[in-house]
Structure 1
Amino acid sequence: MLVRDLYGTIVYWNRGAETLYGWPKAQALGKVSHQLLAAEYPIPLADIEATVLDTGYWEGDVVCVTRSGARLFVESRWTLTRTARGMPEGFLEVHRDSTQRREAERLLQARNEALARSNHELEQFAYLASHDLQEPLRMVSNYTQLLARRYHDQLDADAHEFIEFAVDGARRMQALINDLLQYARVDRRGREFRPVSTEAVVADALSNLAGAIAETEASLVVDPLPSITADRAQLVQVFQNLIGNAIKFHRPGEPPVVRVSAQREPAAWRFAVADNGIGIEPRFFERIFQMFQRLHARGDYPGTGIGLALCKKIVERHGGQMRVESAPDRGATFSFTIPDVIPPV
């Protein structure tokens, strides 16, 4: 802490100031404070003084130089001092060293920027790699099937089985590439957020799942749903993936029952997709939202292991969060929030 008169001359210099700046009291008194400390103010010094004279107070970040030449970031708070008769006499300044905090904030910002660049580059790589892989994969699949048709009578049973393995592998790779492209496009090709009816969104998702619903004889219950602001196409993807999973992971011999509902929360809507399926052990709750994570053999339940990661990324793009509640053989409820005000992306 220091006190200076209206002309800038230091008239008080406590031990904290000595420790912070390295100047002994005897050498600091009588000096002009902004010259002694080589102070850099966010606005002209005259404007700060005028503010304090007018309002009695000012605070801001100032850069000061210590006796050893080190630059410090300082949180500075000024108050006006007065004489016994109430006349302005000088300025009391309380300085707090914020150099370490500022450096930590700078490092955190730099790391966040580096992480954002890395994520962007990774998404770009996934998009380009997936896009460029499609054509050669189609050629492998097409020519393998052509080989099977043209030389059908000349191939034995083992050869036909090998060709079927190759074609099945190409199909699974194509599905994986398509899911990767969808994942990479969440940010790259996301549309503007607009008012949408979630009842219409769910209707579209159910239409896309009509085949699976009929095949499994699934029962669907859709509660009244609100209108929200969102990317309509991406919201269809979320509901389609969640309802599709609810249908896929049903208990053997028991038709799936799926309920879609919405609940009002402070400043957001929470949507839920609940089922009567095989359920999930709590220890897998985090894992299932990661890329390529599968809890079951591909032969038992088909899929690429990207669907829930895609849902989570879409929900987070909307500023929401996703969670699951479940237990083995007791079904699962996947829910997510969409805030009323979506943060800028």
Structure 2
Amino acid sequence: MDEIAKIALDNEMDLILAHKRSMKLAELSGLSLSAQTSFATAVSEVARTSIESGKRSYLVLGVKSDLKDDFIVASLTNQQTGENAKRGLEYAKRLVNKYQVLNNGGSTSIELYYAVPAFLKADIRKLDEWRTLFRNEPPVSPYEEIKRKNEQMQEMSERLQKSESQYKTLTNSLPLIIFSLGLEGNLLYANEWLSKFTGQTIESLNTDGWRSIVHEEDYDAFSHILKSHSARNAKVIRTQARFRNGNDADYFWHMVSITPFRDDKDELQYWIGYMVDIHAQKVYEETLKDNVELKQAQVQLELNQKMLQTYVDELNRSNKELQQFAFIASHDLQEPIRKLLFYSDYLLNQYETVLDNRGSDLLRNMHSASMRMRALIQDLLLFSHLNSKPLEFKPVDLNIIVKDALQDLEIAITEKNAQLNISSLPTVGGDAGMMRQLFENILGNSLKYSSTSRTPVINIRCTERNGQYEIVFEDNGIGFDEKYLPKVFTLFQRLHNREAYEGTGLGLAICQKIVELHQGRIWAEAREDVGASFFISLPSQLVKRSEL
């Protein structure tokens, strides 16, 4: 279903909104006044039951097409189950063309379908216009205005939480201590490197003013960083200080730098800072001053330090852009590609016969390039979301996982006439969705790189040793030279050209990330024109998320 509008159903005022917007969607769809009233009445009946239940519920209005007809659809989801959720359906089902009731765990969804003139199919621009119309429709009451503002604030809150999660993932992946300070010098945020190096928490550092980890001879200079509120007009504040390592109690030199973060009105909001280890540089400075060759090395080290400073400054500058990555990748990049695919496919189907050979070739090349771009965007999104996606480890039966993967790859298996020999697999602790992606990627890899001179054979087996399950995927494909093993699991690395084998170069990198998130290990063995084997080692005991 293509969603057009969504309404949270909390009280009787929302019932009026549900009726009004149902009427509006029916009107936009070209229905008569009586048909509009029938659809809106059916929606109101079911919505009334949802509101009376006192449970959290919401209404989604949209359009849906099947092979024969187009429909406007109202989907009402309620946290209750059983007969109470269906009482409003008794009258409503006589007013619509069809309906269905879906039970999903602790909630029930009732979908009402009303047939409309067959002009909506694939009309992307019209659907976008309707969404804009509903979004910008002026409120008819103060309640509707307040509700709309509240929904917008909730949406903004969700976006901020997602952006914050991505920012944390980014900063934790960099080999720097990155932090932010409030206007009074209190520590607001720090990435994982600070606690790993010092063994201290944000709360403990705020309590003692960092005295427990800063060398006493350097504390006065460092304290100017904490009192940076006195230099509000400064662009950058830097100092050097020794910090105690929480593991061995030794002190290491670090360069500390903070930069002001200002809003659109140039008002100071907080300070963004970083700490980079320069201990080696300081040792050179203090012990090798009289050695000419080592002085040259010191100059080179200083140049490297300046390059690092430039890199970190650029990182601070691009933080805002990185926070928009998820939105750009999921909408601004995918939507143009989707339209390119749609229009090029339409042109190939409808006008290929009137184009010359050159025009047809160019159109096919455009369609093929768009398909590759979509696959690359989807793989990049999947890879970037692996760390940010909250993991909830549960028992996962790998026999079910491999069965599902084979269903998804059924067409490729049939085309290749592949033979699969699968031994009994264990139940492991993990995320079922990620495990399915892992199995599909490895099996798909074996099918893609099968030999054209022999029937593809894929063997899957498992052994248990030293508290680990070792799962082996063995094929008789084209294999590869083992000198390329260091590159197999690297992002965007391809051992074959795109003309011979399609792909984005991300499949095995995604596999490695999934296995690492499950505290496992993946490696490969291969012989050129003989085949390849991929090995996955996973803990045999269920690992709780809190233990990760």
> What residue number does 1:254 align with?
454
The CA RMSD over aligned residues, in Å, is: 3.5
> What residue number does 2:500 align with?
300
Answer yes or no: is 1:155 the counterpart of 2:355.
Answer: yes
Q: Give how far 1:126 is off.
A: 5.6
Q: Give how far 1:136 is off.
A: 0.9
CA distance change for structure 1 residues 300 and 149 in 2, over 3 Å: closer, same or farther? closer
**Match 2:251 to one of 86, 94, 99:** 99
Q: Give how far 1:302 is off.
A: 1.6
In the alignment, the residues of structure 1 paired with residue 425 and residue 408 of structure 2 have an alpha-carbon distance, to the nearest angstrom, of: 19
In the alignment, the residues of structure 2 paired with residue 308 and residue 180 of structure 1 have an alpha-carbon distance, to the nearest angstrom, of: 12
Deviations 1:288-339 (A, max 9, x none): 2111211112222221111101100111111111111112122111112222
Sequence identity (%): 32
Q: Is the 8 A contact 1:281 1:327 kept in 2?
A: yes
Q: Is the 8 A contact 1:250 1:278 kept in 2?
A: yes
Matched to 2:329, the amino acid is: S
Correspondence list, 1:130-279, <5 A:
130-131=329-330, 132-149=332-349, 151-152=351-352, 154-279=354-479
Q: Is the 8 A contact 2:243 2:253 kept in 1?
A: no
CA distance change for structure 1 residues 242 and 251 in 2, over 3 Å: closer, same or farther? same
Q: Give how far 1:195 is off.
A: 0.6
SS in 2 for 1:286: helix
Q: Structure 2: which 5+ residue stretches go unaligned?
A: 1-199, 201-211, 222-240, 256-274, 278-307
Q: Give how far 1:342 is off.
A: 6.1
With 195-204 and 185-194 compared, the bigger mean Cα shift is at 185-194
CA distance change for structure 1 residues 325 and 124 in 2, over 3 Å: closer, same or farther? farther
Q: Give how far 1:223 is off.
A: 1.4
> What residue number does 1:309 align with?
509
Q: Structure 1: which 5+ residue stretches go unaligned?
A: 1-41, 43-60, 76-95
> What residue number does 1:35 align with?
none
In the alignment, the residues of structure 1 paired with residue 375 and residue 242 of structure 2 have an alpha-carbon distance, to the nearest angstrom, of: 57
Q: Is the 8 A contact 2:242 2:252 kept in 1?
A: no
Q: Give how far 1:241 is off.
A: 0.9
Q: Give how far 1:63 is off.
A: 8.5
Matched to 1:287, the amino acid is: K
Q: Is the 8 A contact 1:127 1:180 kept in 2?
A: no
Answer yes or no: is 1:327 the counterpart of 2:527.
Answer: yes
Q: Give how far 1:127 is off.
A: 3.9
Q: Give how far 1:234 is off.
A: 0.5
> What residue number does 1:88 align with?
none
Deviations 1:87-115 (A, max 9, x none): xxxxxxxxx97224999xx857xx9xx9x
Matched to 1:201, the amino acid is: I
Matched to 1:296, the amino acid is: H
Matched to 1:300, the amino acid is: A
CA distance change for structure 1 residues 326 and 72 in 2, over 3 Å: closer, same or farther? closer
In the alignment, the residues of structure 2 paired with residue 173 and residue 198 of structure 1 have an alpha-carbon distance, to the nearest angstrom, of: 32
CA distance change for structure 1 residues 148 and 214 in 2, over 3 Å: closer, same or farther? closer
Q: Is the 8 A contact 2:463 2:470 kept in 1?
A: yes
CA distance change for structure 1 residues 163 and 317 in 2, over 3 Å: closer, same or farther? same
Q: TM-score, normalised by structure 2?
A: 0.42
Q: Is the 8 A contact 1:282 1:327 kept in 2?
A: yes
Matched to 1:162, the amino acid is: L
**Match 1:290 to one of 478, 486, 490:** 490
SS in 1 for 2:396: strand
Q: Give how far 1:128 is off.
A: 3.6
In the alignment, the residues of structure 2 paired with residue 145 and residue 330 of structure 1 have an alpha-carbon distance, to the nearest angstrom, of: 39
Q: Is the 8 A contact 2:348 2:360 kept in 1?
A: yes
Q: Is the 8 A contact 2:417 2:456 kept in 1?
A: yes
> What residue number does 1:6 align with?
none
Q: Give how far 1:266 is off.
A: 2.1
In the alignment, the residues of structure 1 paired with residue 394 and residue 448 of structure 2 have an alpha-carbon distance, to the nearest angstrom, of: 31
> What residue number does 2:287 align with?
none
Q: Is the 8 A contact 2:242 2:253 kept in 1?
A: no
SS in 1 for 2:472: strand
CA distance change for structure 1 residues 124 and 318 in 2, over 3 Å: closer, same or farther? farther
In the alignment, the residues of structure 1 paired with residue 432 and residue 343 of structure 2 have an alpha-carbon distance, to the nearest angstrom, of: 38
- Size of the aligned set, in residue pairs, is 255
